[in-house]
Structure 1
Amino acid sequence: MLKFPIKNQQFVGPICIAVICIVLWIIEPLSSEYLALVRSELPRTHWWQFITANFVHTNTNHLLLNLAGVLLLWVVHGEYYKISNYLFNSLVLSFWVTFGIYIFSPTLSWYAGLSGVLHGLFVYGACKDIQHKIKFGWLLFVGIWVKIGYEQLFGADQMISDLIAANVAVDAHLYGALGGLSLVLMRIRLKQG
């Protein structure tokens, strides 16, 4: 726990995600115009937004918050990362989050940001801790669900909304966390089968 995972397989995946987000931020506003999730443009014309929306951000603060999340998750759970596994999980969670928004959150007409994916990676890492009999994993697992429950009942902190200059898409956090749990259950099932 809190060891710095410094093997290539442990940090290359997070660096790839961070670089993608930074490059897309550099070419703003063009990247958000074409890559953010715009409900009216889906699913026939701009289907790539199901993935790309997660890698664009509303402003520098939004980007920095999500990059801090990538870093924090790498420090806490990087020992479980392998390049292909991390990138696969990130892509699956990206689709899962935006598809969830598209199907179950019809009032959300625009979406950008990595926080839903980060919630999924958080749940995935907490479950890996639990599988490795690390008791702190239970605290992380319960804590994330309490946070998500609070957001679903009371909404996001207004200070964060002001900081990122957008409403926090709390539903994305829920869909990401459910996606992370689904990835864990799928891997358990594949090992048993």
Structure 2
Amino acid sequence: MLTQFIHLSWTHLALNLAGLAVLTWGFSHLIKPSLWAGLLGLSLAWVALYITFIEPLSWYCGLSGALHMQFVVCLALAFRQSTNVGLRAWPLWLMLLGLLAKLLLELNPAEATDPSVGGPVAYAAHRGGALGGLLVVIILATPSVFKKFGRRV
């Protein structure tokens, strides 16, 4: 899990922190602060376990897998809120389609090394993060969880 805080370059670190800032700015209002912190910790732990046991990587540096997990969960919560308050959900559909397209392109990458970040890209961590987010969404979709946490998860 500690390797998620070690980065390939300053550019790589800046991109990951910018992604975290955008997620926090755009979605943290959907979740209680204590659950937001829990999601951050859970995403880091899940990706560490995923790249250790499911799609083993001999190396990993960065937060991108955890960010993928957080994005999937936040996107699902935003969809739920948009239907609850009658907001237009088309921007959310664009984000979902963009994520799916990105993950599909990463299944057979032309190049696994990105010179702008200083090394290889861990596509397995991206997949693992998205899968972890999907599992959290399934758990959150159970009625007992909604009753426990109320309208604002």
TM-score category of the 2 structures, normalised to the smaller one = 0.7 to 0.9
- The alpha-carbon distance between structure 1 residues 147 and 71, as it changes in their structure 2 partners (threshold 3 A), is same
Matches within 5 A, 1:27-42: none
- Counterpart in 2 of 1:151? 106
2:134 corresponds to 1:185: no
Q: Which runs of 5+ in 1 are unaligned?
A: 1-50
> C-alpha distance in 2, partners of 1:84/1:110?
31
Tell me the CA shift for residue 95 of structure 1.
Answer: 1.5
Matches within 5 A, 1:94-113: 94-106=44-56, 108-113=57-62
Matches within 5 A, 1:37-56: 51-56=1-6
2:24 corresponds to 1:71: no
TM-score by length of 1: 0.66
- Counterpart in 2 of 1:82? 32
**C-alpha distance after superposition, 1:63-104 (max 9, x if no partner):** 100111011112321322432112211111112112111123
Tell me the CA shift for residue 138 of structure 1.
Answer: 2.2
- Counterpart in 1 of 2:127? 174
Maintained 8 Å contact 2:28/2:36: no
Letter in 1 for 2:68: H
- Out of 69, 81, 85, the position equivalent to 1:132 is 81
Between Structure 1 and Structure 2, how many residues are aligned? 140
| Identity within the alignment, % | 31
Maintained 8 Å contact 1:54/1:112: yes
Greater length-normalized contact order (CA 8 Å, ≥ 6 residues apart): 2
> C-alpha distance in 1, partners of 2:111/2:76?
25
TM-score by length of 2: 0.81
RMSD: 2.0
Maintained 8 Å contact 1:58/1:112: yes
Tell me the CA shift for residue 129 of structure 1.
Answer: 1.4
